[in-house]
């Protein structure tokens, strides 16, 4: 999390500084790149915080239902649900195009979030044996 905050501060600083005379003609592209990186960093920070909080909360709730048995279930249910919220939140905050029709945004976000989501679910299931170690 510290790295993300540091990235946001660096991007803010870099865009506030005057451009080099060597790159003065490319300044709009420079501002665009760093402007987008700030948005992505902030979206990442928010999604990470919410996702981690939900992961612990869900894990605790599932533990109350099943007790200390079924660690694999607690781990996977909490990871899969919290990662779903993390993915939706991150993709929406980072890539939602304001001023674009909702249907276009929805289809775009779905096209980038679905493979990302499937990868996270597979990774969560594959690391289950390591939870027991």
pLDDT (tens digit per residue) in 65-97 = 887 787 888 888 888 899 999 999 999 998 888
pLDDT at 1: 65
The confidence band for 125, taking pLDDT boundaries of 50, 70 and 90, is confident
Rounded average pLDDT over 43-67: 90
Tally of domains in the chain: 1
**What is the spatial distance between Cα 74 and Cα 64, in angstroms, rounded to a whole number?**
10
Using CA atoms, how far residue 45 sits from 38, 51, 75, in Å, is 11, 10, 22
> Cα torsion at 97, 102, 108, 111 (round to 10°)?
140
pTM above 0.85, yes or no: no
Tokens at 101, concatenated: 């029709």
Domain that holds residue 58: 2-132
Asked if pLDDT for residue 133 goes beyond 90, the answer is no
pLDDT at 41: 83
Tokens at 1, concatenated: 């999390």
More confident residue, 7 or 91: 91
pLDDT at 56: 92
pLDDT at 93: 92
The confidence band for 35, taking pLDDT boundaries of 50, 70 and 90, is confident
Asked if pLDDT for residue 25 goes beyond 70, the answer is no
């Amino acid at each position: 999390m510290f790295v993300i905050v540091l990235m946001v501060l660096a991007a803010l600083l870099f865009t506030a500084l005057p451009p080099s005379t060597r790159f003065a003609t490319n300044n709009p592209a420079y501002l665009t790149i760093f402007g987008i990186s700030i948005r992505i960093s902030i979206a990442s920070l928010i999604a990470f915080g919410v996702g981690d909080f939900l992961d612990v909360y869900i894990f605790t709730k599932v533990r109350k239902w099943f007790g200390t048995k079924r660690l694999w279930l607690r781990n996977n249910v909490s990871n899969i649900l919290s990662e779903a919220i993390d993915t939706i939140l991150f993709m929406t905050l980072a890539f939602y195009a304001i001023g674009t029709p909702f249907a276009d945004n929805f289809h775009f976000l779905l096209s980038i979030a679905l493979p990302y989501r499937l990868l996270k679910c597979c990774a969560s299931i594959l690391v289950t044996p390591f939870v027991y170690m």
